[in-house]
Chains A and B, each alone.
Chain A
Amino acid sequence: MREVAITGVGSTSFGKHDGRGLESLAVEAANAALRRAGVERKEIGAVYLGNFIAGPLSGQEVLAGIVADELGLENIPCTKVEGACASGGIAFRHAVLSVAAGLCDAALVVGVEKMTHASGGQVTQALNCAMDNRSDGPSGLTFPGLFGLAWRIHAAKYGTTRDEVSAVVIKNKANGLKNPLAQLGADLNPEIIRQSQPIADPIQLYDCCPVSDGAAAVIVVAKDRARGAPDLPIDVLAAVQTRGSPRIGGHQDIVSFDATVKAAERAYQAAGLTAKDIDLVELHDCFSMAEIIDSEDLGLIPRGLGAKWAAEGRTRVGGDIPINASGGLLAKGHPVGATGVGQLYEAVLQLRGMHANQVDGAGIAMTHNLGGAGIACTVSILKRSDA
C-alpha cells in the first residue's frame, strides 16, 4: 500500500443554511478543497460522499454523482457512503484505500447534511434509522435516551456527577466561541446547564448537539503527488473502520463501545504510536456523555475518569489532551454526514498551525467518528508531513 496525504481542505460553516440545498453546501466545500488540492480536476480518480439522511429529509439520493457533475470531474466512480453518524469518516477511509491501493492518485471526500428545514419530530425519526429497528427501536428509545442509559451506569460505577459532565459542555461551548465555523458556541456555567430542559434523563438540553446543516471536504493524494500542493501536506498514518453491535443489549457494557476500542487499537498499531503520542483529538461528542465514553474508549483518559479530567481542565486547549478544540459536535454542530470530514478539516488546520483555537506544537492528531448505537466507527491518525 502507498503512503497517502491530505492536501486541499474546505468547509462551509455549520449551522442553519436557510434556502440552500445539499448540493449547494457540498459543492462549496468540495470546490474550496479542489482549489487547494495541488492536482488538476481531471486527476481526481474517485469521489466518496458521506451522507446519512438526504433520502428521508430531502428526497434526494445519488448525491455523489450530482456533486461530481457540478464540480466538472471526469466520468469516475462516485459513491455515496452511509454509516449513520460515521458516514463521513467511512467516506474518508474509502478514499484513502483507493489511493493507497494505487487505483487512483487523488480522490475527493465530501460529507454533507441538510437538517434544519425539517421539524424536530421528523429529525428524531430520521436519526432513528440508525438504530436496529427490530430490537431497540420499538421501545421508543432515542439517541439522547441511549446516552441517558449510559450516564446512569457511568454515575453508578464511577461516581460521575452532573457538574463534572457539565465541564465537558462548558469546555466545548467555549471552544466553539473561538471557531468561526461553529454553530452554537456559548459562555455557560453549571447553573445554566442544570436549569436547562430535560430531554432524556439525566440528559438535558445543553448535553445535546444541535441540529445542523453543513458540508466539509478533503482531498486525499498519493504522498509523492502532494509536493506541489499550496499548503503543507498532512500525512495519513491510519484510517481504520470497525463494526460494533447494532443493539444495546449486544454491548458488553453500555459505558463502552467496542467498535471504538477496536478501532483505536488498530489505529495505534497502524501508526506505530500510543495514546501518549496524540497531541489533540476531535472525537464524537454527539452528547456530553458520549465525549466521556469516547475519551476512555480511545485510551486517552483512564477508564471512569473522562468527566473528572474535563472538570480538572485537563481536556482544554493547553491541557494534557485537548479534546474538541473546534467546539466538537456540541458547539460546532452535527450535520451528520459532514461531521467525520469536518473533524478531519479541523485536525488539518491544527497540524498546519492555522487553527483559530490552536493547540501549541500540534504534530499528531486523532479523529473519531461513531455511528448508530455503536455499530460503525472510524478512527484516523494524521501527522504534519514535516514533523
Chain B
Amino acid sequence: MDAKPGTLEVLRCGACAALDPGPREICPRCHQASLQPHAVAGEGRLLTWTVIRRPPAAFRAEGAYAVAVIELDAGLKVTGRLEAPEDVNGLGSRVRLVRSKDGVAIFRAV
C-alpha cells in the first residue's frame, strides 16, 4: 500500500517510537511486536547510485534502470529507484520521492 503523495510509508514502534524502513516483524530496538505504518517525508540525500544494465530475470522487461540508496531526512536509509540519474549533481545531492510502485520508492534529484 502506498502512502499519500510526497510521503513514504515506514514503520514506527508503538512502544518505543523507533523508526525503521521495514518490512520487519518486531522492533529492532525494544523487540516488541508493536510496529505500525508511519508516514515520513519523502525527502533526503542521495548516498550513492548505480545503473543496472543486466537485470535479473524478473526485471528484464524494464531495460536499464537506476537503483539508489537514499538517507531520508527522518534518519532512515532506504534502497529505491532513481529517475533521471543524469540530473544528479554528485553524491549528497538532495532528492525527493516522486512516486512509489509495487512498494519501491522512486526518487528524483531536486
Contacts and interface: CB of A to CB of B under 8 A. Distances in A.
A152 B91 contact: yes
B76 A249 contact: yes
Contacts of A254: 47-48, 69
B81 A201 contact: no
Given A134-B23, A149-B48, A139 B54 contact: no
B67 to A, nearest CB: 5
Interface string A189-223: 00000000111111100000000000000000000
Contacts of A198: 51, 53
A145 B56 CA distance: 11
Contact of A249 (B23, B51, B54, B79): B79
Interface string B34-50: 00000000000001111
A150 interface: yes
Given A149-B69, A156-B91, A248-B69, A138 B54 contact: no
Interface string B69-108: 1000000111111000000001100000000001110000
A309 to B, nearest CB: 23
A138 B104 contact: yes
B57 interface: yes
Given A135-B21, A156-B91, A141 B76 contact: no
Contacts, number: 98
B55 interface: yes
A128 interface: yes
Interface residues of B, number: 32
A142 B54 contact: yes
Contact of B79 (A139, A152, A199): A139
Contact of A140 (B59, B90, B103): B59
Nearest to A144: B54
A135 B79 contact: yes
Contacts of A201: 50-51, 53
A125 B77 contact: no
Q: Interface range on chain A: under 10, 10 to 19, 20 to 34, or 35 or more?
A: 35 or more
A121 B60 contact: yes
Contacts of A200: 50-54
A205 to B, nearest CB: 9
B58 interface: yes
Given A145-B67, A156-B91, A249-B79, A124 B48 contact: no
Contact of B78 (A124, A150, A249): A249
Contact of B52 (A140, A247, A250): A140
Q: Most chain-B CB neighbours within 10 Å: which of A136, A197, A201, A249? A: A249
A138 B22 CA distance: 13
B23 to A, nearest CB: 5
Shortest beta-carbon contacts, A-B, top 10 = A148-B50, A249-B77, A121-B57, A124-B56, A140-B59, A201-B51, A125-B57, A134-B23, A125-B56, A149-B48
